[in-house]
């Protein structure tokens, strides 16, 4: 058997499970709220590895931007970053799905006028081919914009941990078109997708795409109230 000198996938991070165990441990210790003092020996003991291995985990996590360490008189203080909490939340969400089933959420809002942007973006071939491939349809060239209140916005924050369907960004005609994530949705019973651009404008408006012209099919006009129902894919 010939030896292959070129190591396959050199540098790929392994040990993902163990590093996750460290994050989980720190989260339970409250390191998401305030820095906690925990020696590398303690960390190692809790997850069943040596002080040296635990130290390497901490180093790696810090390097990956998941952990902030501050040394105070030889004693490290550990604090999880928002990125680490997002990772843990995604993990939580994954387990939740196993036992509680796919997450659903329902919200209401008022139909609002678009700025004509939707039509322009949705007509870009770079997007259209992705919609056809990944959503299974070419959307009607125009988004249904729905203005939502503070309560609905808070619910929508949960979407961050949902899977969703990725639409990748691309470049065309010398400019950049950003990526987005789509979530299967029903608006007053008619199906389509809620689409969230990566570069969100932080406005209190959500955009819906659908194979149909929702405005005419639903017979809704500006400021009419519609109900949006989302279920995890």
Q: Which residues bind a second copy (CB under 8 A)?
A: 15-18, 20-21, 24, 27-28, 32, 88-89, 91-92, 94-99
Could you tell me the smallest distance in angstroms from the CB atom of residue 95 to a second copy? 4
Binder among 31, 49, 87, 144 for DNA (CB under 7 A): 49
DSSP string computed for 17-75? HHHHHHHHHHHHTTTTTS-EE--HHHHHHHHTS-HHHHHHHHHHHHHTTSEEEEEETTE
* Shorter beta-carbon distance to DNA: residue 57 or 131: 57
* Shorter beta-carbon distance to DNA: residue 54 or 144: 54
Which of a second copy, DNA, none has residue 65 at its interface (CB below 5 to 8 Å by kind)?
A: none
Q: Name every residue whose Cβ is closer than 8 Å to that of residue 191 and which is 6 or more positions away in sequence.
A: 184, 185, 210
Supply angle C-alpha 20, 24, 26, rounded to 5.
115
Which of a second copy, DNA, none has residue 202 at its interface (CB below 5 to 8 Å by kind)?
A: none
* Shorter beta-carbon distance to a second copy: residue 132 or 158: 158
The residue among 128, 220, 222 whose CA lies nearest residue 177 is 128
Backbone angles phi, psi at 18, to 5 degrees: -70, -40
Helix axes 40-47, 51-63, angle to 10 degrees: 100
- Nearest-angstrom CA–CA distance, 169 and 45: 45
The residue among 180, 159, 160, 176 whose CA lies nearest residue 168 is 180
Q: Is 150 in the site for DNA (CB under 7 A)?
A: no
Binder among 28, 30, 50, 227 for DNA (CB under 7 A): 50
Please report where in the chains the tokens 């635990």 appear, as a residue: 54
Q: Which of residues 70-99 bind DNA (CB under 7 A)?
A: 71, 74-76
Q: Is 59 in the site for DNA (CB under 7 A)?
A: yes
Q: Is 69 in the site for DNA (CB under 7 A)?
A: yes
Which of DNA, a second copy, none has residue 71 at its interface (CB below 5 to 8 Å by kind)?
A: DNA
73: left (phi over 0), alpha (psi -120 to 50) or beta: left
Which of DNA, a second copy, none has residue 229 at its interface (CB below 5 to 8 Å by kind)?
A: none
Binding site for DNA (CB under 7 A): 1-5, 7-11, 13-15, 18, 39-41, 44, 49-53, 55-56, 58-59, 69, 71, 74-76
């Amino acid at each position: 058997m010939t030896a292959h000198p070129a190591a396959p996938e050199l540098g790929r991070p392994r040990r993902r499970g163990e590093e996750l165990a460290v994050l989980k441990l720190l989260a339970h210790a409250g390191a998401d709220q305030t820095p906690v003092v925990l020696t590398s020996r303690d960390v190692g003991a809790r997850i069943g590895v040596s002080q040296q291995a635990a130290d390497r985990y901490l180093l790696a996590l810090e390097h990956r931007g998941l952990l902030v360490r501050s040394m105070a008189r030889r004693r490290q203080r550990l604090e999880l970053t928002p990125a680490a909490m997002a990772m843990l939340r995604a993990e939580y969400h994954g387990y939740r799905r196993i036992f509680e089933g796919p997450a659903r959420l329902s919200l209401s809002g008022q139909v609002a006028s678009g700025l004509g942007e939707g039509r322009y973006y949705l007509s870009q071939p770079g997007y259209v081919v992705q919609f056809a491939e990944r959503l299974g349809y070419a959307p009607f060239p125009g988004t249904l914009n729905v203005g939502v209140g503070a309560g609905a916005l808070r619910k929508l924050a949960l979407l961050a941990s949902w899977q969703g369907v990725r639409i990748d960004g691309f470049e065309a005609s010398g400019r950049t078109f950003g990526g987005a994530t789509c979530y299967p949705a029903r608006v007053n019973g008619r199906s389509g997708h809620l689409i969230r651009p990566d570069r969100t404008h932080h406005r209190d408006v959500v955009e819906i795409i659908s194979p149909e012209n929702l405005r005419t099919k639903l017979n809704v006009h500006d400021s009419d109230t519609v109900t949006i129902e989302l279920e995890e894919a």
